[in-house]
Structure 1
Amino acid sequence: MVNKFCVPGCTGNYRTGKKISVFRFPKDAELRKKWTHDIRLQNFTPSEHSVVCQEHFSQSDLILQSTAVDWKTGRTSTLPLEKPRLKENAVPCFLPNCPSYLSSRQEVQQEPPSQRRQWLEADALSKAVSESIETVSAQRENDSFKIVVNF
């Protein structure tokens, strides 16, 4: 049997659309329930042939490459996957023909803690340097003396 796309308004893999990967509904009951809820179709029960295309998932939910370690040499090889895979708890989040508050193409990019820490340290260092410069210039002004000669 042919895969059945279940997201309304989706044109992925049609003759006019681009060819993209599709994902079957998960077997895990809780995750399957989340997928069904997020697709927002009334009275919808996914079958074994129901699929959702990759366009409805966040880029951060897709696994596009695989990494392998050669234990003899210690080298790590990273190769692109022929077909993308989904991360374990990925849920479709981009839905066409839905209000913007239900579906948004804006992905929140959260920076890793180490990068945020570096940014905060650089900001604190910059503030400390500017305060130090102000303090030194104020101190020099106070330490300077004026020679007043009265004749």
Structure 2
Amino acid sequence: MPGCCCAPNCKSNYAGEPSVRVHVFPNDPVRRAAWTRAVPRKDFAPMKNTVLCEKHFLASDYVKTSKYTDLKTGKTIEAPLKVFRLKPDAIPSVFLNCPQYLSRQNACTREAPVEKRKRLEDESLRIVIEKSLEEKRQQDKQNKVTSFSEFRNALPSFNTSPFWSVINMDSKVLFLDLTVD
């Protein structure tokens, strides 16, 4: 059985109470201090095995999906996680059996600049790729010919390199490279 929650008035994982997931206090001193300040207990000093249950975190404090961006296509693939993970910057903020002012119900989170830049780059790359594919489809549609006579009629509108000499005859079209030595 996992450890019992250290939050005041929380009976999670006690005998006869339902079991819930718990989170060990972080090892990083800055995050550990933030968690310690967040728990409304006087002179509280967490030990090695001190835990907080999932009830003290907002739903937005959890990572519920895993994302991968394919470098070739620029597509972002997102898959749901079976077991949600706590975000690295999550701080316990919900203490139901304590005074209201000790709980933070609405998280005002802000996207990190690096993440925002990456998201915007991915989005602009996706838009450029979509435009490029659409232009190619339109160009293919415009340049599509279904018969030889259609090809001969459309030949003047095609942009051909000056390298080629194009000779259009009744039953054939010749593309020649004429060089004089």
Pick closer, same or farther for the CA change 1:26–1:79 going to 2, 3 Å. same
Hey, what does 1:46 align to over in structure 2?
46
Pick closer, same or farther for the CA change 1:13–1:71 going to 2, 3 Å. farther
Equivalent position SS for 1:101: helix
In the TM superposition, residue 13 of structure 1 has moved relative to its aligned partner by 4.4
Hey, what does 2:106 align to over in structure 1?
107
Equivalent position SS for 1:80: strand
**Could you state the TM-score of these two structures normalised by the residue count of structure 1?**
0.58
In the TM superposition, residue 93 of structure 1 has moved relative to its aligned partner by 0.5
- Identity among equivalent positions (%) equals 37
Q: Is the 8 A contact 2:40 2:102 kept in 1?
A: no
Hey, what does 1:83 align to over in structure 2?
83
CA deviations on 1:79-119 (whole Å, 9 max, x unpaired) are 11122212222110001221111125x3256899xxxxxxx
CA deviations on 1:112-134 (whole Å, 9 max, x unpaired) are 9xxxxxxxxxxxxxxxxxxxxxx
In the TM superposition, residue 9 of structure 1 has moved relative to its aligned partner by 2.3
Q: Is the 8 A contact 1:38 1:93 kept in 2?
A: yes
Hey, what does 1:58 align to over in structure 2?
58
Equivalent position SS for 1:32: helix
Point out which structure has higher relative CO (alpha carbons under 8 A, 6+ apart).
1
Pick closer, same or farther for the CA change 1:82–1:31 going to 2, 3 Å. same
Pick closer, same or farther for the CA change 1:80–1:10 going to 2, 3 Å. farther
Which amino acid counterpart does residue 98 of structure 1 have in structure 2?
Answer: C
Name whichever of 7-16 and 91-100 sits farther off: 7-16
**Could you state the TM-score of these two structures normalised by the residue count of structure 2?**
0.50
Hey, what does 1:133 align to over in structure 2?
none
Pick closer, same or farther for the CA change 1:108–1:2 going to 2, 3 Å. closer
The number of equivalent residue pairs is: 110
Larger Rg: 2
Equivalent position SS for 2:101: coil
Distance 1:110 1:31 in 2: 16
Equivalent position SS for 1:60: helix
In the TM superposition, residue 67 of structure 1 has moved relative to its aligned partner by 0.9
Pick closer, same or farther for the CA change 1:33–1:110 going to 2, 3 Å. closer
Which amino acid counterpart does residue 60 of structure 2 have in structure 1?
Answer: S
Hey, what does 2:3 align to over in structure 1?
3
CA deviations on 1:31-50 (whole Å, 9 max, x unpaired) are 21121121122232212221
Pick closer, same or farther for the CA change 1:109–1:89 going to 2, 3 Å. closer
Distance 2:83 2:90 in 1: 16
